[in-house]
Amino acid sequence: MRNHRIFSGVIAFSIGITLLMPPSVVNAIGWPIYGNWGGPGWSGGSNGNKAPCDVMDAAFMRHDIKYEQVKGLWSRLSLLQRARAVALADQELVNEVSAINPETLRVTSKCKDLPKSKGVRNDTINYFRPKAKQNQEVARMIQTGECKDAVVSLYGNSACIRKTIVLGKRR
What string of H, E and C letters represents the secondary structure of 58-102?
A: HHHHHHHHHHHHHHHHHHHCCHHHHHHHHHHHHHHHHHHHHCCCH
Strand order in the sheet with 159-170: 3-13, 159-170, 147-151
pLDDT in tens, 42-60: 788 766 778 999 999 999 9
Query: Can you give the pLDDT at residue 165?
Result: 56
Query: Can you give the pLDDT at residue 167?
Result: 54
Averaged over successive runs of 10 residues, the pLDDT of the chain (171 residues) comes to: 29 28 45 84 76 94 93 92 95 97 87 83 92 93 88 85 59 37
In terms of Cβ atoms closer than 10 Å to its own Cβ (0-12, 13-18, 19+), residue 83 is: buried
Query: Can you give the pLDDT at residue 10?
Result: 24
**Structural contact between residues 151 and 161, judged by C-beta atoms closer than 8 angstroms:** yes
Q: Which of 85, 83, 80 is nearest to 70 (CA)?
A: 85
